[in-house]
Structures are given as C-alpha cells and as structure tokens.
Amino acid sequence: MSRDVFVRRELQPALPPPVSVSGPFGWLRTRLFAGPLSTVLTLASLAALWLIVPPLVRFLLIDAVWSGEGREACLGETVGRPVGACWPFITAKLGQLIYGFYPAGERWRVDLVFATALALLVPLLIPPAPFKRLNAALFFVVFPVAAYVLLVGGWFGLAVVETRAWGGLLVTLVVAVTGIVASLPLGILLALGRRSDLPAVRWLSVAFIEFWRGVPLITVLFFATYMLPLFLPGSWSIDNLLRALIGVAVFAAAYMAEVVRGGLQGVPRAQYEGATALGLRPWQTMALVVLPQALRLVIPGIVNTFIGLFKDTTLVMIVAIFDLLGQLRAAFADPSWASPSTLYTGFAFAGLIYFAFCFGMSRYAQFIERRLKAGR
C-alpha cells in the first residue's frame, strides 16, 4: 500500500442531529431566536408590546364607558372607577363625523353613494370577477357623474346641498378618491413626458414636477383656496372643495410621476428593442410592453403614495374644509361632552378609521404583488 493512501480504521463519531426547523418550536428558533442579536431584538419587542398593548386595551375596552347621555357618564366621579374611552361621545357624534353638516333628511343620498361605490369597487378588486371592462367603465365614468348629481343635487327634484355643508368621512373619501384616481393617469403622462425626446414636452414636464414637489401641500391648498380666485375673471367662481381637489390631485401627480419614472427606468433596454423588432410603433411599445412592466415594478411605490395621500387629506382642514379630523375637532367644542377622556377617545376613533383604510390598501397591494409575481 502506498504511503500517500489514508484508510480510516475506526468509525467516525456520529454527528448531532440537525436542528429542527419545522413546527412551532422550529419557527420560534429560526424566526425569533436565531442568534444573540435576534434574541435581543425579540425580547426588546416583547417588552415594548407589554408596555403599549395592555394599557391600550384597558383604555379602549376594559375601562371604557359604553353607554350614556352626556359628559357625566364619562366622569370618574360618576362611574366610581377609572374611566377609559368615552364611546357614547362617538355614538352621539357619529352622524356629524360621517356626514358633516349634510342635512339629516338628505343623508340617504350619501349612503346611496357609499353603497354604490362599494358595490362597484369590490368586484373591480377581485381578479376572477367577470365583466371587468364594464365594471371599470361604470366606476370610473358613470359613478363620478352619478355621485356628483346625488351629492350636490339640483336635478330630478333633489334639493341642492352646497359643498360647504359636506364634511366628515364624506369629505375625506371624496378628496382621497379624487386625488388617487386623478393622480395616477396624470402621473403616468408626466413620467412619459419627462422621458420624451421632444425638448418642449420634456422641459414642461420637468418644470411641472419640480415645482409641485418643491412646495408643501399646505402652500398648494392655500394657493388654490385663497390666491387662485385673484387670477380669475371677476365673473368666474370655483367651488372651495373643487379648488382643494385640484390642488391635491396635481400635488399627488407630481410624486406619482417620479414613482412611475422609476419603474420605466427599471425595464430592460431589450424590451424596447424586442418590441421594435416585432414592428410595434412607439406608442404600442409603451402601452403594450413597457408600461405594464413598469407599473408592476412600482406597485409598492404607487400604493405608498396613495396611503400618504389618504392621510394628507387631513390638511384640507386648514382651508376651512371639515374632513373627518376637522369634524372631530369641532365635536370636541361641545360642552355637553367635555370630559378628560373625550379628546383621547376621538383621536383613537379617527386613528382606527385611518388605519383600517391604509392597512386595507397595503394588504391588497401585497395580494396584487403576489398575484403578478412582481418580486421575480
């Protein structure tokens, strides 16, 4: 036998069994206690949850007051124990928080608009639902006209309700939906204009985007509400809410344009060359090949802009348009419901509503990403 050959004459000791990565203990070991840093972060997170969640549950549920007719029901001296959330305040002001100062006898029109929007939107968001084109045409073309007729009135015997009587969740949704629906197509056009080979189109798009991104939304709303009428002929008058809607839409479109432009830059050059080799015209290349891929790449950015826009609707309060938060602050002025917990209850209620909408948009975006396999 050669001296360079090695032959083991005894058995190798058995290796320890592999660490289980299945089951509850395996999940805890791999996800929460995989190492010293992971263990420290897990324990710190648990400590933070212990400090935040129990007091929050105690305030919102355990110590909360659920019924009553006035501020006395939410006072500790009356109840005889620590008082948490004053939910009777929300119950008493719920109509104001949803409809604002919309006439009580006409609120069925708002309910009908909400129900119609929900009936059209839900099948539009469910991919297997049939008649997508008809549904989209009804939601994006017919519904806005019908909603305007119903909410404003003046046709078919409906009483006129001026927009200054609108408020609460109605205004929040009108501003948010209008901004979202208008900003996406306008942002796509601006992004395409910024990448255009025509210098005039490119520089106009750049100027528009940089101007509206360079000023805060508060300034835009002030300009649209108080300064825009100064530049219009004396006989012209634009509704206050419409001015705010235009300001929010163009502001969001500038941000949306940059999100879409990022997606366009992420499409490989070979896609353009392949479409050209197939004989597609430039607009066909953009509409059928490039833009669908670009929008799929930037779904998280688009939804992030939508969520930011939804929360920014609260800024319309500074131009005397009472959205949900504005109506809530107006309700705080009612002395019949003045109690130490009224303020915190109102903001908790508003926070839950905003969280529900934003979380819903976020989860649906993740569902669409998984369905389109945008991460691959």
pLDDT at 118: 92
Band of pLDDT at residue 15, cut at 50, 70 and 90: confident
Unique residue bearing structure tokens 């008493």: 92
pLDDT at 30: 83
Unique residue bearing structure tokens 């320890």: 16
Largest CA distance in the chain: 111
For the stretch 309-349, pLDDT in tens is 999 888 888 888 888 999 999 999 888 988 888 999 999 99
- Percent of the chain with pLDDT strictly greater than 90: 41
For the stretch 159-208, pLDDT in tens is 999 888 898 999 999 999 999 889 999 999 999 999 888 999 999 999 99
Question: What is the rounded distance in angstroms from the CA atom of residue 276 to the CA atom of residue 258?
Answer: 26
Question: What is the rounded distance in angstroms from the CA atom of residue 1 to the CA atom of residue 95?
Answer: 97
pLDDT at 307: 92
Q: What distance lies between CA 57 and its chain's CA centroid?
A: 25
- Percent of the chain with pLDDT strictly greater than 70: 98
Torsion sign over Cα 159, 161, 166, 169 = positive
> Is the separation of the CB atoms in 176 and 313 below 8 Å?
yes
DSSP assignments along 228-240, one per residue: GGGGS-TT----H
- SS3 assignment, position 337: helix
pLDDT at 112: 94
Question: What is the rounded distance in angstroms from the CA atom of residue 134 to the CA atom of residue 105?
Answer: 33
Band of pLDDT at residue 363, cut at 50, 70 and 90: very high
pLDDT at 170: 93
Helix ranges, 267-316 (H)? 269-277, 282-284, 291-297, 299-312
pLDDT at 374: 54
Helices 143-152 and 107-125: crossing angle, nearest 10°?
170
Question: What is the rounded distance in angstroms from the CA atom of residue 160 to the CA atom of residue 210?
Answer: 40
For the stretch 256-310, pLDDT in tens is 999 999 999 988 889 888 888 988 888 888 889 999 999 888 888 899 999 999 9
252 pLDDT above the threshold of 60: yes
Mean pLDDT of 135-155: 89
2 pLDDT above the threshold of 70: no
Helices 299-312 and 240-266: crossing angle, nearest 10°?
160
Q: What distance lies between CA 17 and its chain's CA centroid?
A: 49
pLDDT at 163: 87
> Is the separation of the CB atoms in 253 and 190 below 8 Å?
yes
Count the residues in the chain.
Answer: 376
For the stretch 71-111, pLDDT in tens is 888 888 888 888 889 999 999 999 999 999 999 899 999 99
**DSSP element (H, E) containing 36:** helix 36-57
DSSP assignments along 52-114, one per residue: HHHHHHIIIIIS-B---SSGGGG-HHHHTS----BHHHHHHHHHHHHHTT--GGGHHHHHHHH
pLDDT at 109: 93
> Is the separation of the CB atoms in 87 and 66 below 8 Å?
yes
pTM: 0.84
Question: What is the rounded distance in angstroms from the CA atom of residue 335 to the CA atom of residue 70?
Answer: 9
Any idea which of 22-36, 114-128, 238-252 has the lowest mean pLDDT?
A: 22-36
C-alpha distances in angstroms, 158 versus 149, 152, 155? Answer: 9, 8, 6
Amino acid at 334: D
pLDDT at 192: 92
pLDDT at 3: 67
> Is the separation of the CB atoms in 164 and 240 below 8 Å?
yes
Alpha-carbon Rg for the chain in angstroms: 28
Burial of 111 (0-12, 13-18, 19+ CB in 10 A): exposed
pLDDT, the chain, mean: 88
Band of pLDDT at residue 140, cut at 50, 70 and 90: confident
User: What is the number of helices (H) and of strands (E) in the chain?
Assistant: 17, 0
235 pLDDT above the threshold of 80: no
The closest of 196, 244, 178, 190 to 217, measured between CA atoms, is 244
Q: Which residues contact 203 (CB under 8 A, 6 or more apart)?
A: none
